[in-house]
Amino acid sequence: MALLLALSSVLLLVGPALAQSPDMSYEDYMAQVQACPKECRCPPSFPNAVYCDNKSLKHIPTIPPHTWYLYLQNNLIDILSTAAFRNATQLRWINLNRNRITSEGMEEGALATMLRLVHLYMDDNLLSSVPANLPSSLEQLRLSRNRISKIPAGVFSGLDRLTLLELQGNKLQDDAVTEVSLKGLSNLVQINLAKNQLTTMPLGLPITITQLFLDNNAIEKIPADYFKGLPKVAFLRLNSNKLGNGGLPKNVFNMSSILDLQLSHNQLTQVPMIPSGLEHLHLDHNQIKSVNGSDICPVSADALEGYATETAPKLRYLRLDGNEIKPPIPRDLMVCFRLLRSIVI
């Protein structure tokens, strides 16, 4: 009786506001609150959200039908069952980070009925393969720090709305990341493949990629025409690989789209050619002994005297610490890169 009185008091306070909401009627609100799992929290002020995080749960409770946001991180869940989500067809966001879900523990079609799901977080689990049968509505898929070594052919088929794919900290090798395995990602903008076991630049990436993160692999070289198939790359991270100057063709980074290039913690002995549109360059912790501004300047020596500031190379930030370079900064570097505002040596 006391619980009913308390619930009635809450409804009297929030009922009128909810009745005006286009997202949830008063009747739906009643059904949502009454169906809230006893292991979870369903705040009256945020009725579309269900918080089941940090509860040491081993199984997913039955989720109320009007749930949009579901928080299940930091539990002991090892199975993703179809039964738990049978009625939760309105889910937009699921956080399953830091559980114990394996590929074998993902029941076939467990997420297939969620036709409105946009964000799926499954970082820090025990997956060995990218999950199949994901809803076509998905826009962000986060699978970092699992044990993924396989990307099955066709697994991304129909996911043409996916813009972000996080796969860092897995066990992917060169033969796992191919044009066949990535087929279907026709609108992907960001892919994170850092901290895997790649020794070559991944093949078959969608031409829509603007952010490519490949830190902490074992990549030794970049093919000369590699970026011809990636005309929109603006942010490229290749920190902590095995790149030497022999692995970087002279004009490999000559792309009009690139803004931020990170090559820290490699084996470079010279500064690579800098494209005119690049704004940030990270070359710290290599083996560079000197910088010759004339050699790396994207503008010819004859044009240096007369070019206007608006047509000058766009480099603003250059990091060179952790090398063998000693001050002062060469004058020809500043003559070329007139917009340079910060150099770290």
* Cβ-based neighbours of 42, under 8 Å, separated by 6 or more: 32, 33, 36, 49, 50, 51, 64
Res 20: pLDDT: 30
Domain boundaries, the chain: 33-126
Res 86: pLDDT: 86
For residue 214, the surrounding DSSP H or E stretch is none
One-letter amino acid identity for 140?
Q
CATH superfamily of 33-126: Ribonuclease Inhibitor (3.80.10.10)
Query: CA of 306: how far to CAs of 66, 294, 297, 341, in Å?
Result: 65, 16, 15, 21
- What pTM was computed for the model? 0.90
Whole-angstrom distance, CA of residue 99 vs CA of residue 103? 12
Whole-angstrom distance, CA of residue 284 vs CA of residue 321? 5
DSSP label at residue 35 = T
Residue count of the chain, please give it: 345
- Find how far residue 150's CA is from the centre of its chain: 18
Please tell me whether residue 295 adopts helix, strand or coil conformation.
Answer: helix
| pLDDT mean for each 10 residues of the chain (345 residues) | 39 36 73 90 91 97 93 97 88 98 94 93 98 96 98 96 98 96 97 98 96 98 96 98 96 96 98 95 96 85 60 92 90 89 92
